[in-house]
């Protein structure tokens, strides 16, 4: 009841536990031989031991297995012994016909355990160590039995009866199929029939029938008057439309719903696993929800939770799981409701890993509730609200001196500030931060973020929260990647600072996350991992032990390989793997920004191959996106779209997934290149819609959408409009401190002015962009800015051709080494143009100097289907051939030119499936 | 409405039929209404009417005058024919079974009737089985309570009952009582839509079974569901509507229905208690107290609804009356949740919160879904500064009935106490959503916004405005509104609210620092606005009070007089070179 924290691991004796006890008794029967009676070899004996161990640990579900499931598993484990084992268990169970039998049974069990002081032991005698896993299990069972009231014992007896009867009913059909060796079984079967279980069984029979009738609900509808039967439809419709398309969630959903259909009727025979196992199960599910995101089936899991709540109303963690489930399915109101409910009940002090602090204060730990609430608002895209709540969390955590929570809260605020554009935090980040931001209040958001990050990192380090430290390092790296460190004080002695980002610092920060992987065990419990392996092992019983190596060789890569059960006694927790993996993702992004395509690709590949199992679905999607983008830039659209297709199969293409965005991006680029301006605009608008969905404005996506909008306008030769869009975009970037994006926008502005014929106006933009690139070490972007600058010079007149050429040659190594197809082609064409416009250059003297780059450009552009540039290349070629006096080749080039110009003007109508598909969907 | 006499006849038959089927609480209810009908004084001796005489002067005092016994025009009530008994001669077995039933030996009763096929026998057999299952369920609930609160005990008879009743329903050999039981079973099984349909059918064909109506009521949780019901117009429907309106917090509608009904059932204790409850929800405590006093005089051993009375006494801090009531109910029936709740209230009023919690816990042990006990226990824990326990108790109340605004309010308060105003806002929002007419809730929310951590004054002003609009008895809102506007440097608005507050204080003849503050502000404000006459009035009033304000007022007056009389006004000064 109110305010009482339940002791963890409460334990109730159930029929399943009784049968496990019987098995343990067989395993460790007090006999004198090292290999007790029914076993023929040590390995057989050990295998049963392992099985029992797994049985007591596994946590794949909330309910205990039924007897028939147990028998089936025994069949897998027992090998030759299976008949003997099942017979023994069932006959032992059914011999328990009166309360006194139960008393005797548990007394016998006690003999299996060696006493704590029984030092004198014969060498070859099997005695269960009372402190071993199985010994503990046995002791807990005995204790639980001794605590039962007489009514409780009666219930246990009835339940054992139901448990057996059910198994017999479901087994009989099975047994009949196996006629060949049925002699033994039939005998035992008839034994049950004759069994003298008098009233108990009679009662059970009635119940069973009643239950059966309850499950066949069909009959009942037929008897209803019409008006009544119309109502029935809404009783049980659980079908989840999603699950059909969804491979990821299927495994989790199928058994969940199957389980429920079977157990919806609670008339008995439904027993929860131990608290410990259920908590393990819930934790696993929490991981699964996070991993699979919205592809995790909502309804099936919700049903499991509802059942669990019904069976164990005091297990409040259910509400938390429900919150998570709703959170990842974007159900704001239910998520909010469940979050509040969970913390109202648990006061933040629940969970089996919760150890009440030494000076146990009775305040509860509601600051954790605030932290979670803040994260929820963040997730749903209410940054201001999230910040308010987190501020309160900081204050309450300080008040109750909960340092751990404070550290996490600070980290959360940091990620909030860094991910969501705030133009100002004044009035939000208020007084509680004053101990941290003691420098002054006139700091910009970025400076505040920096101070917070530092503080959070220090706090996490002093509290030895390894994962948090690693996460903070990653956040720090992210900050360093895109922000110049300025002095915090605008007065006082100024040290000379070079205003650049520092890649070395970024690398250092990213590297420091690795220590985590060796030290992870300090935090988190290994219980789940343990339980998970037990579960996996139980699920793969059918794999024979002998062929372990073989099955490994066969290259089955799934996690549930039984081999893992032995090779990885302690695995790395998923969260640690995730963190380390995300450091690779960060690296890939960093290299992308710095402009090293190969390194970015390598890191993305490392992530995709090594961390795919542990990664959340959004991260996995992100890495695919990166790789596909790489393909598009370096190999052209054909390959990119082929890869996209496989990615789409792999990830559920829900709305606003990264994959969908990628698809739109690729479509847009291709449409631009091909000159399908209408399509381009349409795709661009769709991107814009995705950017400001109902939940929140995604600044990054919004920037990109308007950037693409400007680009489309530019291609459509609506220069003034394009310039206006780009200009307002720049203003926004400036306001929200998106400096890397600013560089891109400036470059675009320069291009717009160049194309509109105002090269002089374009020059300062290009230079500004260059200086941004320099500051942030954006090498590739810098090269392309240099290229634009060269083009600008060139369009100023032929007397600037030399300057342009020098600039271009300076940027060539970077462009050719890391640039994509389009950039290279542009560089080649510009080079050729430089030569051609140089009055001192004579074509006839060295035609290859011009023709070679032009051919290269044409080749590379082929993959991109970039008609405009291709036309330009062929036009130039035609001119060169003309000057060289080679009319045939000139005509050839000219006709190619004509083709490309034609297809640019009349985009052919052959639509490929991908894009029409998208437009239909979107 | 049908005549009193026909009503009486209907009810008499119904009582016989209901108690014949062992539907005791329904027959009790019907009997209460039967004697509630005003008798014709000519026909009866004074001894017959004595029971009704209790109706005393007080009732007359509060009787709303004109509505009595004027039936709503234009409503045609269907007259449902009184059901014919199918078995004129009661089987001997039936008699035996009924005696067993009366001795609470349900299974035996069912066994006796195992081969009987009459509708009545079938009903009694099923009903006995149902009750036997319920009884066993209650026992098992305690036996099976596991470490995680597992109490999945179910009525094991439900399945077979449902099957049997469904068959009967299909064959059309089911009577309204059977339908009632069928509805009950369906409801327990969670099939609410069908249950509603079946119950509607039951009450349409036999409207006098109040138990069926109450089951139906528990299945109608929203107005939409209620409007979707296809109920024929019987006078029993009025009772149903009145009761469900109260449940749906449409207190005024409920009240008017009850007052209408009172025209016919003038002396019904039931209606009287319901009216009291409705008025309690409307916070008309004075009247509620009078009604309950009257009720207790007529029906001194009543325990039902007395918890509401104790709440009133608690709010009015009537120590002795509350202790008297507690004493009375405990002598009547110690193990009723209401009794425990009343005692809990008493201890709470005495400030002995630990003891109070003990009694609330006992009440909850008797009825786990006793809503107000959870909420009240939450209040006690708040008093004991055990906030986590309080939060837990409130949350349980809210989970039982999400519309319980008191518990939401309690949750908000608890979190505010812990210094989490932002978190508390969620709960306050919930509470004002369910009870937007209660000024205290709005004020609590406003104070939350005002707290130094949030300092969201605009929002606070909005809340105070709502509070001021819904009859803020403690007059906090107006004063706070004025203060806030002054703080936000909006003198016009501040003056407006100060004036309103002043008017209100004058009307209620209250004095105090608030009055002085209002006068002070208005005086200075009017002076700066050059409304000298008005300012003078305020200043003169201020002279009645002692303290520094008096001196300030004097100097203000002096300044104004100089400005007005002695010297040319500003306009003149303007023309000076």
pLDDT band at B2 (very low <50, low <70, confident <90, very high): low
Query: Per residue in A91-125, pLDDT tens?
Result: 888 888 888 888 888 888 887 776 555 544 555 55
pLDDT, residue A364, reads 66
pLDDT, residue A72, reads 77
Backbone angles phi, psi at A680, to 5 degrees: -60, -45
Query: Per residue in B44-65, pLDDT tens?
Result: 554 444 444 444 444 444 444 4
Chain B residues within 8 A of A363 when measuring between CB atoms:
387-388, 418
A793 CB-side CA count, 13 A: 22
B179/B176 Cα distance (integer angstroms): 5
pLDDT, residue A408, reads 85
Considering only CB atoms, A362 lies closest to which of B194, B386, B396, namely B386
Query: Per residue in A45-55, pLDDT tens?
Result: 777 778 888 77
Backbone angles phi, psi at A63, to 5 degrees: -105, 150
Q: How many CB atoms lie within 10 A of CB A265?
A: 16
A792/A760 Cα distance (integer angstroms): 8
Mean pLDDT within A765-789: 88
Residue B83 vs residues A374, A693, B10, B201: alpha-carbon distances, Å: 63, 63, 10, 15
The answer to which of A150-154, A534-538, B557-561 has the lowest mean pLDDT is: A534-538
Helix (H, G, I), strand (E, B) or coil at B464: helix
Helix (H, G, I), strand (E, B) or coil at A692: strand
Q: How many CB atoms lie within 10 A of CB B439?
A: 22
In the numeric block, the tokens 């404000």 are attached to B525
Mean pLDDT within A581-600: 84
Give yes or no for B354 touching A (CB within 8 A). Answer: no
Mean pLDDT within A837-845: 79
Give yes or no for B388 touching A (CB within 8 A). Answer: yes
Give yes or no for B386 touching A (CB within 8 A). Answer: yes
Segment 318-357 of chain A within 8 Å of chain B by CB: 336, 340-341, 344-345, 347, 349
Report residue B352 CA to chain centroid gap: 26
**CA torsion, points B259, B261, B265, B271, in degrees to nearest 10?**
-60
Token duo for residue B517: 């503050």
B354/B335 Cα distance (integer angstroms): 20
Closest CA relative to residue A610, chosen from A631, A588, A573, A580: A580
What chain A residue is nearest to B361 in terms of C-alpha separation? A1
The answer to which of A43-52, A123-132, A873-882, B416-425 has the lowest mean pLDDT is: A123-132
| Mean pLDDT, chain B, whole residue set | 83
**CA torsion, points A207, A209, A212, A213, in degrees to nearest 10?**
-110
pTM above 0.90, yes or no: no
pLDDT band at B273 (very low <50, low <70, confident <90, very high): very high
Interface test with B, best of A212, A274, A343, A344 (most B CBs within 10 A): A344
Higher pLDDT pick, A599 / A37: A599
Cβ within 8 Å, pair A370-B162 = no
pLDDT, residue A794, reads 87
Residue A440 vs residues A430, A489, A490, B454: alpha-carbon distances, Å: 12, 8, 10, 21
> What one-character-per-residue DSSP string does A342-394 give?
HHHHHTT--STT----SS--TT--HHHHHHHHHHHHHHTT-HHHHHHHHHHHH
Cβ within 8 Å, pair B393-A155 = no
Query: Per residue in A353-369, pLDDT tens?
Result: 444 443 344 556 788 88
Most confident of A182-196, A438-452, A618-632: A618-632
pLDDT band at B210 (very low <50, low <70, confident <90, very high): very high
* A357 torsion bin: left (phi>0), alpha (psi -120 to 50), beta (else): beta
The answer to which of A33-37, A294-298, A604-608 has the lowest mean pLDDT is: A33-37
Give yes or no for B369 touching A (CB within 8 A). Answer: no
Cβ within 8 Å, pair B163-A399 = no
Give yes or no for A211 touching B (CB within 8 A). Answer: yes
Q: Are A290 and A299 in contact (CB under 8 A)?
A: no
Give yes or no for A370 touching B (CB within 8 A). Answer: yes
Q: Looking at the predicted structure, is the pLDDT value of residue A212 above 60?
A: no
Considering only CB atoms, A311 lies closest to which of B150, B170, B419, namely B150
In the numeric block, the tokens 């050729």 are attached to A832
Most confident of A119-123, A429-433, A837-841, B330-334: B330-334
pLDDT, residue A367, reads 82
The minimum CA-CA distance between A13 and chain B, rounded to whole Å, is 10
Give yes or no for A392 touching B (CB within 8 A). Answer: yes
Segment 139-198 of chain B within 8 Å of chain A by CB: 140, 143-144, 146-152, 154, 156, 159-160, 162-163, 166-167, 169-170, 172, 191, 193-194, 197-198
Percentage of chain B modeled with pLDDT above 70: 86
Token duo for residue A525: 């419990």
pLDDT, residue A530, reads 59
Helix or strand run (H / E) with residue A562: helix A562-567
Cβ within 8 Å, pair B197-A227 = yes
Considering only CB atoms, A344 lies closest to which of B191, B386, B411, namely B411
Q: How many CB atoms lie within 10 A of CB B329?
A: 24
What DSSP state is assigned to residue A244?
Answer: G
Segment 25-64 of chain B within 8 Å of chain A by CB: none
Q: Are B374 and B404 in contact (CB under 8 A)?
A: no
Higher pLDDT pick, A287 / B410: B410
Give yes or no for B429 touching A (CB within 8 A). Answer: no
Give yes or no for A396 touching B (CB within 8 A). Answer: yes
Q: Looking at the predicted structure, is the pLDDT value of residue B41 above 80?
A: no
Q: Which CATH architecture describes the domain B283-401?
A: Alpha Horseshoe (1.25)
Cβ within 8 Å, pair A395-B453 = yes
Give yes or no for A429 touching B (CB within 8 A). Answer: no
A652/A294 Cα distance (integer angstroms): 9
Higher pLDDT pick, A706 / A568: A706
Q: Are B129 and B157 in contact (CB under 8 A)?
A: yes
A502/A507 Cα distance (integer angstroms): 9
Q: Looking at the predicted structure, is the pLDDT value of residue A130 above 70?
A: yes
A789/A754 Cα distance (integer angstroms): 9
The minimum CA-CA distance between B161 and chain A, rounded to whole Å, is 10
The minimum CA-CA distance between B421 and chain A, rounded to whole Å, is 8
Query: Per residue in B67-115, pLDDT tens?
Result: 444 444 445 555 555 555 555 555 788 889 999 999 999 999 999 988 8
Residue A563 vs residues A51, A78, A540, A553: alpha-carbon distances, Å: 14, 19, 10, 11
Give yes or no for B389 touching A (CB within 8 A). Answer: yes
In the numeric block, the tokens 């608005």 are attached to B493
Cβ within 8 Å, pair B143-A344 = no
Closest CA relative to residue A128, chosen from A208, A37, A21: A21
Considering only CB atoms, A210 lies closest to which of B151, B159, B172, namely B159
pLDDT, residue A306, reads 81
What percent helix, strand, coil does chain A show, rounded to 5?
A: 70, 0, 25
pLDDT band at B378 (very low <50, low <70, confident <90, very high): very high
A629/B30 Cα distance (integer angstroms): 79
The minimum CA-CA distance between B399 and chain A, rounded to whole Å, is 9
The answer to which of A392-401, A808-817, B20-29, B84-93 has the lowest mean pLDDT is: B84-93
Cβ within 8 Å, pair A370-B423 = yes
Cβ within 8 Å, pair B453-A223 = no
The minimum CA-CA distance between B226 and chain A, rounded to whole Å, is 16
A117/A477 Cα distance (integer angstroms): 58
The answer to which of A780-794, B364-378, B545-559 has the lowest mean pLDDT is: B545-559
B129/B123 Cα distance (integer angstroms): 10
Between A and B, how many CB-CB pairs are < 8 A? 139
pLDDT, residue A551, reads 33
pLDDT band at B179 (very low <50, low <70, confident <90, very high): very high
pLDDT, residue B85, reads 56
pLDDT band at B186 (very low <50, low <70, confident <90, very high): very high
pLDDT band at B322 (very low <50, low <70, confident <90, very high): very high
pLDDT band at A135 (very low <50, low <70, confident <90, very high): confident
pLDDT, residue A801, reads 84
Gyration radius of chain B's alpha carbons: 31
Backbone angles phi, psi at A272, to 5 degrees: -75, 150
A47 Cβ partners below 8 Å, 6+ apart? A77, A79, A545
pLDDT band at A576 (very low <50, low <70, confident <90, very high): confident
Q: Are B341 and B370 in contact (CB under 8 A)?
A: yes
Query: Per residue in A213-270, pLDDT tens?
Result: 444 433 333 333 334 333 333 333 333 333 333 333 333 333 333 334 334 344 445 6
In the numeric block, the tokens 């996996």 are attached to A536
Token duo for residue B490: 């909006």
Q: Looking at the predicted structure, is the pLDDT value of residue B328 above 70?
A: yes
Query: CA triplet B563, B565, B567: central angle to 5 degrees?
Result: 60
| Mean pLDDT, chain A, whole residue set | 72
Q: Are A661 and A687 in contact (CB under 8 A)?
A: yes
Backbone angles phi, psi at B179, to 5 degrees: -60, -40
Give yes or no for A216 touching B (CB within 8 A). Answer: no
Residue A692 vs residues A182, A375, A381, A382, A708: alpha-carbon distances, Å: 67, 20, 10, 13, 15
């Amino acid at each position: 009841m109110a305010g009482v924290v339940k002791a963890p691991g409460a334990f109730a004796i159930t029929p399943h536990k009784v049968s496990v006890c019987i098995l343990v008794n067989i395993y460790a029967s007090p006999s004198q031989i090292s290999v007790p009676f029914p076993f023929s070899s040590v390995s057989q004996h050990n295998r049963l031991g392992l099985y029992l161990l797994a049985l007591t640990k596994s946590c794949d579900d909330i309910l205990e297995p039924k007897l028939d499931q147990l028998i089936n598993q025994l069949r897998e484990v027992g090998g030759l012994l299976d008949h003997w084992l099942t017979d023994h268990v069932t006959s032992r169970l059914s011999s328990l016909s009166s309360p006194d039998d139960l008393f005797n049974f548990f007394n016998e069990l006690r003999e299996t355990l060696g006493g704590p002081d029984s030092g004198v032991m014969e060498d070859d005698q099997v005695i269960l160590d009372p402190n071993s896993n199985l010994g503990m299990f046995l002791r807990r069972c005995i204790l639980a039995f001794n605590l039962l009231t007489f009514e409780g014992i009666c219930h246990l007896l009835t339940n054992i009866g139901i448990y057996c009867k059910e198994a017999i009913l479901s087994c009989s059909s099975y047994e009949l199929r196996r006629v060949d060796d049925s002699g033994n079984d039939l005998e035992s079967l008839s034994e049950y029939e004759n069994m003298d279980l008098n009233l108990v069984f009679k009662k059970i029979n009635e119940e069973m029938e009643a239950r059966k009738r309850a499950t066949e609900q069909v009959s009942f509808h037929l008897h209803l008057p019409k008006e009544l039967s119309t109502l029935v439809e809404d009783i049980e419709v659980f079908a989840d439309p999603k699950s059909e398309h969804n491979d990821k969630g299927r495994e989790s959903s199928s058994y969940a719903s199957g389980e429920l259909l079977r157990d919806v009727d609670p008339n008995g025979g439904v027993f929860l696993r131990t608290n410990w196992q259920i908590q393990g199960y819930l934790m696993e599910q929490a991981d699964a929800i996070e991993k699979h995101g919205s592809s995790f089936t909502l309804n099936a899991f919700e049903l499991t939770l509802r059942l669990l709540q019904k069976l164990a109303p005091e297990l409040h963690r259910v509400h938390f799981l429900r919150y998570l489930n709703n959170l990842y399915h974007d159900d704001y109101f239910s998520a909010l409701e469940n979050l509040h409910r969970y913390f109202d009940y648990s006061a933040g002090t629940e969970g089996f890993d919760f150890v009440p602090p030494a000076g146990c204060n009775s305040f509860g730990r509601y600051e954790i509730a605030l932290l979670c609430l803040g994260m929820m608002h963040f997730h749903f895209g209410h940054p201001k609200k999230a910040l308010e709540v987190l501020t309160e969390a900081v204050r309450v955590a300080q008040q109750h001196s909960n340092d751990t929570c404070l550290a996490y809260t600070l980290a959360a605020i940091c990620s909030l500030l860094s991910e969501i554009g705030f133009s100002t935090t004044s009035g939000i980040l208020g007084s509680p931060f004053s101990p941290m931001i003691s420098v002054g209040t006139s700091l910009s958001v970025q400076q505040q973020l920096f101070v917070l990050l530092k503080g959070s990192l220090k706090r996490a380090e002093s509290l030895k929260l390894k994962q948090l430290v690693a996460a903070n390092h990653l956040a720090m790296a992210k900050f360093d990647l895109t922000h110049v460190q300025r002095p915090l004080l605008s007065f006082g002695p100024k040290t000379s600072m070079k205003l650049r980002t520092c890649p070395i610092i970024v690398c250092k920060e990213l590297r420091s996350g690795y220590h985590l992987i060796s030290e992870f065990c300090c935090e988190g419990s290994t219980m789940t991992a343990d339980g998970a392996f037990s579960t996996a092992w139980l699920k793969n019983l059918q794999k024979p032990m002998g062929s372990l190596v073989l099955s490994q060789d066969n290259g089955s890569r799934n996690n549930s390989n039984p081999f893992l059960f032995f090779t990885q006694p302690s695995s790395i927790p998923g969260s640690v793997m995730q963190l380390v993996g995300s450091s690779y993702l960060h690296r890939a992004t960093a290299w992308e920004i710095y402009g090293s395509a190969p390194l970015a690709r390598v890191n993305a590949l490392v992530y995709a191959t090594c961390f795919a199992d542990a990664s959340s679905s959004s991260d996995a999607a992100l890495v695919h996106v990166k790789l596909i983008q790489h393909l598009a830039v370096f190999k052209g659209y054909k390959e990119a779209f082929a890869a996209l297709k496989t990615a789409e199969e792999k990830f559920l293409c829900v709305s606003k997934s990264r994959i969908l965005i990628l698809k739109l991006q690729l479509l847009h680029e291709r449409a631009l290149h091909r000159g399908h301006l209408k399509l381009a605009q349409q795709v661009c608008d769709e991107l814009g819609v995705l950017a400001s969905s109902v939940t929140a404005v995604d600044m990054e996506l919004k920037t990109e959408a308007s950037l693409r909008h400007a680009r489309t306008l530019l291609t459509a030769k609506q220069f003034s409009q394009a310039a206006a869009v780009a200009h307002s975009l720049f203003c926004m970037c400036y306001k929200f401190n998106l400096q890397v994006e600013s560089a891109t926008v400036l470059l675009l502005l320069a291009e717009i002015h160049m194309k509109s014929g105002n090269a002089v106006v374009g020059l300062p933009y290009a230079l500004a962009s260059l200086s941004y690139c320099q500051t942030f070490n954006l090498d590739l972007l810098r090269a392309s800015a240099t290229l634009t600058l060269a083009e600008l010079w060139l369009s100023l007149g032929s007397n600037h051709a030399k300057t342009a050429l020098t600039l271009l040659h300076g940027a060539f190594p970077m462009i050719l080494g890391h640039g994509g197809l389009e950039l290279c082609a542009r560089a080649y064409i510009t080079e050729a143009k430089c030569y051609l416009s140089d009055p001192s250059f004579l074509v006839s003297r060295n035609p290859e100097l011009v023709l070679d780059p032009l051919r290269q450009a044409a080749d590379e552009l082929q993959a991109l289907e970039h008609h405009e540039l291709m036309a330009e290349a062929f036009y130039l070629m035609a001119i060169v051939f003309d000057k060289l006096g080679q009319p045939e080749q000139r005509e050839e080039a000219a006709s190619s030119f004509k083709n490309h110009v034609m297809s640019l003007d009349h985009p052919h109508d052959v639509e490929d499936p991908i894009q029409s598909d998208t437009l239909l969907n979107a | 409405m049908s005549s009193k006499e026909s009503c009486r006849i209907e009810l008499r038959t119904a009582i016989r039929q209901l108690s014949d089927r062992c539907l005791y609480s329904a027959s009790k209810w019907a009997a209460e209404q039967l004697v509630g009908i005003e008798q014709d004084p000519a026909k009866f001796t004074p001894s017959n009417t004595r029971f009704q005489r209790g109706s005393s002067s007080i009732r007359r005092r509060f009787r709303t005058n004109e509505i009595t016994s004027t039936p709503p025009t234009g409503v045609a009530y269907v007259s449902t024919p009184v059901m014919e008994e199918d078995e004129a001669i009661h089987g001997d077995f039936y008699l035996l079974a009924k005696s067993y039933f009366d001795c609470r030996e349900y299974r035996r009763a069912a066994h006796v009737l195992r081969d009987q096929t009459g509708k009545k026998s079938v009903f009694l057999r099923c009903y006995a089985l149902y009750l036997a299952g319920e009884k066993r369920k209650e026992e098992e609930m305690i036996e099976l309570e596991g470490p995680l609160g597992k109490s999945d005990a179910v009525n094991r008879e439900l399945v077979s009952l449902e099957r049997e009743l469904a068959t009967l329903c299909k064959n059309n050999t089911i009577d309204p009582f059977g339908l009632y039981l069928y509805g009950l079973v369906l409801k327990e099984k969670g099939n609410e839509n069908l249950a509603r349909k079946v119950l509607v059918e039951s009450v349409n064909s036999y409207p006098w079974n109040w138990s069926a109506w109450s089951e139906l009521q528990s299945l109608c949780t929203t107005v939409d569901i209620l409007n979707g019901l296809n109920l024929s117009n019987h006078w029993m429907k009025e009772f149903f509507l009145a009761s469900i309106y109260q449940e749906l917090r449409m207190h005024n509608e409920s009240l008017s229905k009850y007052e209408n009904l009172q025209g016919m059932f003038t002396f019904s204790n039931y209606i009287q208690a319901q009216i009291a409850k409705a008025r309690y929800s409307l916070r008309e405590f004075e009247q509620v107290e009078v009604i309950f006093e009257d009720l207790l005089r007529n029906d001194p051993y009543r325990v039902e609804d007395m918890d509401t009375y104790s709440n009133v006494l608690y709010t009015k801090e009537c120590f002795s009356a509350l202790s008297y009531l507690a004493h009375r109910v405990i002598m009547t029936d110690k193990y009723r949740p209401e009794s425990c709740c009343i005692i809990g209230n008493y201890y709470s009023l005495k400030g002995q919160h630990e003891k109070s919690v003990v009694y609330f816990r006992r009440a909850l042990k008797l009825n786990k879904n006793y809503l107000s006990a959870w909420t009240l226990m939450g209040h006690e824990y708040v008093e004991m500064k055990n906030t986590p326990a309080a939060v837990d108790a409130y949350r349980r109340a809210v989970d039982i009935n999400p519309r319980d605004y008191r518990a939401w309010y309690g949750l908000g308060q608890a979190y505010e106490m812990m210094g989490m105003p932002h978190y508390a806002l969620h709960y306050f929002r919930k509470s004002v959503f369910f009870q937007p007419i209660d000024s205290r809730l709005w004020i609590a929310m406003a104070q939350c916004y005002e707290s130094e951590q949030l300092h969201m004054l605009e929002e606070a002003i909005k809340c105070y405005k709502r509070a001021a609009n819904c009859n803020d008895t403690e007059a906090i809102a107006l004063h706070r509104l004025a203060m806030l506007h002054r703080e936000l440097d909006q003198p016009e608005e501040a003056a407006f609210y100060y004036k309103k507050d002043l008017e209100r204080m004058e009307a209620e003849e209250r004095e105090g620092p608030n009055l002085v503050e209002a006068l002070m502000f208005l005086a200075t404000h009017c002076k700066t606005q050059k409304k000298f006459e008005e300012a003078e009035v305020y200043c003169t009033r201020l002279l009645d009070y002692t303290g520094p304000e008096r001196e300030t007022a004097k100097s203000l007056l002096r300044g104004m007089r100089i400005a007005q009389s002695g010297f040319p006004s500003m306009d003149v000064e303007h023309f000076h070179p």
